[in-house]
Amino acid sequence: MASGFGTATQARDVCDLSNTLGVTQSKLSFHLKTLKEAGLVRLRQKVRWIYNSLDLAQFAVLEQYLVE
């Protein structure tokens, strides 16, 4: 998994992730949208912040599919 990304139990906001990963917030948001649409990332809104976390169960499904 990507270094510094929130796990299923540790959610991270885009600002924190972009600083950790060294990418712009707009680029990261674009890719997070794609990962969310694929069901690999979950979003949780708390007041005005949106926290992102990996959906580890979906990653397991993807991994099994790729192995087959």
Q: Report the CATH number that the domain containing residue 24 is assigned in CATH.
A: 1.10.10.10
Would residue 6 count as lying in a domain? no
DSSP 39: T
Q: pLDDT category, 45, cuts 50, 70, 90?
A: confident
- Contact call for residues 53 and 7 (beta carbons, < 8 A): yes
Would residue 18 count as lying in a domain? yes
Would residue 17 count as lying in a domain? yes
Residue 1 has pLDDT above 80, yes or no: no
Count the domains in the chain: 1
For the stretch 7-35, pLDDT in tens is: 555 788 899 999 999 999 999 999 999 99
Would residue 3 count as lying in a domain? no
For the stretch 53-62, pLDDT in tens is: 989 899 899 9
Domain span at residue 24 reads 12-67
- Contact call for residues 35 and 27 (beta carbons, < 8 A): no
Would residue 39 count as lying in a domain? yes
Residue 48 has pLDDT above 60, yes or no: yes
CA distance 62 to 28: 21
Would residue 2 count as lying in a domain? no
Distance set, CA 54 to CA 8, 14, 38, 66 (Å):
5, 13, 11, 18
